[in-house]
Structure 1
Amino acid sequence: MKYRDHRVALVVPCHNEGITIYNTVTSFKEAMPELELYVFDNSSKDNTSEEARRAGAEVIFVKTPGKGNVVRRIFADVDADIYVMTDGDDTYEAAAVKKLVDKLIDDKLDMVVGCRKVAPEIAELAYRSGHQWGNKMLTGTVMKIFGGQFTDMLSGYRVFSRRYAKSFPALAQGFETETELTVHALELRMPYGEVMTEYSERPEGSESKLSTYKDGFRILNMIVRLFMREKPVVFFGIIASLFALLSMLFGMPVIDEFLETGLVPRLPTALLAASLMMIAIACLFAGLVLDGITTSRQEIKRLFYLNTHKS
């Protein structure tokens, strides 16, 4: 078992998980006794920290709310060769942890995602209404924009290499962090993989912190922001094309009339068309300038990634 030659840390972001955090930590510890155990308590108001300590984990408190803020602290505070991240709600398959870690090591990957596989009879219990459809839609959108072959982009069960963890900027604040985790791997062209894992319903008395519409829109907003930040030429090129098209729609009749009569009777329309074309040109130049900045930023991140000791 190659993972025994590495420091492997279990990192669990959680908020008000109570008894489920105890079950989560103990099940992972049973599946892989070599794990170093860390629970990041995101301002819980229940006995989460006590249950985590009872399970044998070191508890680190994160006062700033939001899973993305917790992930930032995880990668900053934990020093390990391999990071196993899972949610604290006891829904992910702890027994699959060795498969994920072994795949990371054997295939020389930087990230392995535990794709959720749900038995049909418990699908309605494991997911809220619309969650599966929303996951497929958001994952498909990211794959169309950034490429890649992820099938469950929003899974909270992942394994990372050290150089992934130490090169990840962690700018997201909430549940949109999974999107940022995925795009970071795609933009640096890191090797990644997936492993199918069982996903079960939440234990009785445990409630999901994910808001279907609020967090869905936050994830979609993150996708748009990453699209603008990582592919500015394409993003602003689309906007420039739309403004240029509107400019031509308004301007062509004015130009035709001028060619026929030598007059411009519809001056406001002519000014609108000219203004729209100027906006289109400005958007195009903005995309070109930002592309140079993005390229430099990606080069710096890539060099930092390569300079980080690989586990």
Structure 2
Amino acid sequence: MQNNDRRVSVVIPAKNEAASIGAVVGQLAQLPMVRELIVVDDGSTDATAEVAAQAGAEVVRHPYSKGNGAAIKSGARKASGEILVFMDGDGQHRSEDVARLLERLEAGCDMVVGARQRGGQANHHRGLANAFYNRLASWMVGQPVRDLTSGFRAVWRDKFLRFLYLLPNGFSYPTTITMAFFRAGYSVVYEPIDVRQRLPGTASHIRLVKDGVRFLLIIFKIGTLYSPLKLFFPISLGFFFTGLGYYLHTYISAGRFTNMSALLFITSVLVFLIGLVSEQITTLIYRDTDA
């Protein structure tokens, strides 16, 4: 079945994007496969909602800013299409790439992510950070993850809604939904895309230091969400071998077993047991998904 035979809903989270949202909506409205255009105005203080509505989008308004993830959840609940396409409202994503994502989805995939090519990151520091997240996620899932934080993706709505309660309200929703799909055994593929420079008058809402700390916390969330033992077991081994090394040192130098060695060994066991319990809880979270 061709993708224009299905109802495709495009969801665009937007905050203070009045300078770009009209052009974004206008370009998407010309695509024959798009049947529903939803812009979620996340507490904008400019004319984002008015410009989006004039361009032909259905607008969902938040009375105050709740976060990018919260806007995604509001749009997903409002959408009625079988397929959801998520895009940014700053003009970076190309409307002509939507068809490519939909073709991959219709070919038998569960989620298709637009993977930004080298040079498509906002800046050098963001590029390095995203490369680190991609490597970590690839190790966690055992599959190559080419763009963990991309906000441009197409997904089957019924599958996406199953994980809605897991999504945070902030900027880490792409990370969370990607890991959740991998954990549930769904097929996630990446389609290479080029991104435009931000349109004049638009700016990233991500702050390097503040959101950098949040992304570090996301790393730990990834581990506990996907496979806790992959995170806790290496830490447990670290404590164990540190304790073993310290014990050998004290045994050779003083001929005794110290309290510090005992503490390190006990910590190793406790960390492992916490990881084991977390693994069982994670299994329960995904028990109702059909892989």
**Same fold? TM cut 0.5:** yes
Is the CA contact (8 Å cut-off) linking 1:85 and 1:158 kept in structure 2? yes
Q: Aligned in 2, Cα 1:32/1:135: closer, same or farther, shift over 3 Å?
A: farther
1:257 Cα deviation from its structure 2 partner: 6.8
- What is residue 309 of structure 1 aligned with on the other side? none
Q: Distance in 1 between matches of 2:225 and 2:132?
A: 21
From 126, 129, 153, the counterpart of 1:131: 126
The normalised TM-score by structure 2 is: 0.90
Is the CA contact (8 Å cut-off) linking 1:110 and 1:190 kept in structure 2? yes
1:144 Cα deviation from its structure 2 partner: 1.7
1:68 aligned partner, one-letter code: G
- What is residue 272 of structure 1 aligned with on the other side? 260
Aligned: 1:208 with 2:196: no
Is the CA contact (8 Å cut-off) linking 2:19 and 2:200 kept in structure 1? no
- What is residue 72 of structure 2 aligned with on the other side? 71
1:255 Cα deviation from its structure 2 partner: 4.1
Give deviations 1:90-137, integer Å, cap 9, x for gaps. 1111012112112211x111111112247x7xx6xx723422232222
- What is residue 232 of structure 1 aligned with on the other side? 228
Matches within 5 A, 1:73-112: 73-105=74-106, 107-112=107-112
- 1:115 is paired with a residue of what secondary structure? strand
Q: Distance in 2 between matches of 1:283 and 1:90?
A: 45
1:64 Cα deviation from its structure 2 partner: 4.7
The normalised TM-score by structure 1 is: 0.85
From 175, 192, 215, the counterpart of 1:196: 192
Q: Distance in 1 between matches of 2:84 and 2:242?
A: 50
1:270 aligned partner, one-letter code: T
Aligned: 1:281 with 2:269: yes
Is the CA contact (8 Å cut-off) linking 1:15 and 1:44 kept in structure 2? yes
1:75 Cα deviation from its structure 2 partner: 2.5
- 2:186 is paired with a residue of what secondary structure? coil
How many residue pairs match? The answer is 289
1:92 aligned partner, one-letter code: H
From 148, 156, 160, the counterpart of 2:155: 160
Between Structure 1 and Structure 2, whose CA radius of gyration is higher?
Answer: 1
- What is residue 279 of structure 2 aligned with on the other side? 291
Where does the alignment leave 5 or more consecutive residues of structure 2 unmatched? none
Where does the alignment leave 5 or more consecutive residues of structure 1 unmatched? 307-311
- What is residue 29 of structure 1 aligned with on the other side? 29
- 2:168 is paired with a residue of what secondary structure? coil
Percent identity over paired residues: 26
1:12 Cα deviation from its structure 2 partner: 0.3
Q: Distance in 1 between matches of 2:155 and 2:182?
A: 14
Q: Distance in 1 between matches of 2:53 and 2:174?
A: 26
Q: Which deviates further from its counterpart, 220-229 or 177-186?
A: 220-229
Q: Distance in 2 between matches of 1:56 and 1:35?
A: 12
Is the CA contact (8 Å cut-off) linking 2:19 and 2:199 kept in structure 1? no
Is the CA contact (8 Å cut-off) linking 1:82 and 1:162 kept in structure 2? yes
- 2:20 is paired with a residue of what secondary structure? helix
